[in-house]
């Protein structure tokens, strides 16, 4: 699918927590075909300190409404500016970028595992998998009950299992310690979250011989494979996260 530079219109910006928000964007032209795992590069206007675009994964797509949604956590000046966007504001995107999660084998037992704002691409992926007849389980980890986001949306896709670090909701601890893992034999795990979580899930998956893909969030400048800044170390050497990823099979990563 050809990449585009395009202005989209903000139609909604809702807060999920004090620092996490979802922006829904309407496209004037027909949306390109978007695949779960892909991301967009967002231009942040208005400050010399937000010089580069911000890479943000696609959270949800609604082809009927011709909209796409981005789930964003305020992590610095750029995302703080984005959090202030209002309906009718424009947002310039370079998209669609990156590879995608691999299509599962027929009948595979699938787990979507995520944490924090890393749950973002898993909603789009989960919807896609459901539409293709797969029935994934969903395992999400958060710091505490106040940080739990988008629970109802994930619950539409399949059973949701939760952990919180303080035990205020779901099981106490990290997702790799959740009892659902000992009660089920998953054959494929798709994971996105903080890097320590992804590393833990990768170790778990490799140990059990489960196919596992993670979505990386490396610092990025161009998003199209020319600046070579966002590389990750793999069995093939340094490769660009923006073009060869952001989704990687954990067997490829030198973690």
Partner 1 sequence: MVNLGFSIGDLQFKNPVLTASGTFGYGTEFEDFIDISRLGGIIVKGTTLEPREGNPYPRMAETPSGMLNAVGLQNKGMDYFEKSIYPHIKGYGTNVIVNVNGSRMEDYVALAERVSKLKYIPAIELNISCPNVKMGGMAFGTNEDSAREVTRAVRAVYPGKLIVKLSPNVTDIVAFARIAEEEGADSISLINTLLGMAVDAERMRPLLSTVTGGLSGPAVKPVALRMVWQVARAVKIPVIGIGGIMTASDALEFILAGASAIQVGTASFIDPAASVKILEGIEQYMMRKGFSDLKEITGRINNVNN
Among all chains, which residue has been given the structure tokens 């140990």? 207
Site size toward partner 1, by CB under 8 A: 30
CA dist 190 and 24 (Å) reads 24
3-state secondary structure of 186: coil
Q: Binding mask 131-170 vs partner 1 (x if CB under 8 A, - otherwise)?
A: ----------------------------------------
Contact 183, 206 (CB under 8 A): no
Name the minimum Å distance from CB 37 to partner 1.
19
Name the minimum Å distance from CB 66 to partner 1.
20
By CB under 8 A, tell whether 226 contacts partner 1.
yes
Contact 79, 73 (CB under 8 A): yes
Closest to partner 1 by CB, 209 or 237: 237
By CB under 8 A, tell whether 173 contacts partner 1.
no
Name the minimum Å distance from CB 240 to partner 1.
9
Degrees to nearest 5, angle at CA 46 with 219 and 95: 50
By CB under 8 A, tell whether 199 contacts partner 1.
no
CA dist 156 and 127 (Å) reads 9
Contact 140, 115 (CB under 8 A): yes
* Pair of tokens at residue 64: 């009927």
- Report the site for partner 1 in 23-62 (rule: CB under 8 A): 43, 48-53
By CB under 8 A, tell whether 229 contacts partner 1.
yes
Residues in contact with partner 1 by the rule CB under 8 A? 2-5, 43, 48-53, 94, 218-233, 237-238
């Amino acid at each position: 699918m050809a990449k585009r530079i395009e202005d989209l219109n903000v139609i909604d910006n809702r807060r999920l927590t004090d620092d996490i928000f979802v922006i829904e964007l309407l496209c004037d032209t027909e949306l390109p075909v978007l695949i779960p795992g892909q991301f967009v590069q967002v231009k942040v206007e208005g400050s010399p300190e937000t010089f580069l675009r911000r890479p943000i994964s696609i959270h949800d797509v609604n082809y009927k409404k011709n909209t796409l949604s981005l789930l964003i956590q305020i992590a610095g000046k750029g995302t703080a500016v984005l959090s202030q966007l209002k309906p009718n504001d424009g947002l310039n995107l370079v998209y669609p970028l990156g590879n995608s999660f691999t299509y599962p084998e027929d009948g595979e037992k699938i787990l979507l595992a995520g944490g924090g704002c890393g749950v973002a691409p898993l909603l789009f992926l989960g919807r896609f998998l459901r539409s293709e007849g797969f029935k994934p389980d969903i395992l999400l980890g958060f710091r505490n009950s106040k940080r739990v986001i988008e629970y109802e949306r994930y619950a539409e896709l399949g059973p949701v299992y939760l952990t919180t670090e303080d035990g205020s909701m779901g099981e106490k601890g990290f997702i790799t310690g959740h009892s659902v893992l000992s009660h089920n034999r998953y054959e494929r795990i798709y994971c996105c979250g903080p890097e320590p979580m992804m590393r833990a899930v990768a170790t778990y998956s490799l140990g059990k011989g489960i196919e596992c893909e993670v979505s990386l969030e490396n610092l990025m400048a161009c998003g199209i494979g020319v600046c070579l800044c966002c590389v990750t170390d793999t069995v093939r050497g340094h490769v660009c996260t923006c073009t060869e990823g952001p989704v990687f099979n954990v067997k490829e990563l030198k973690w």
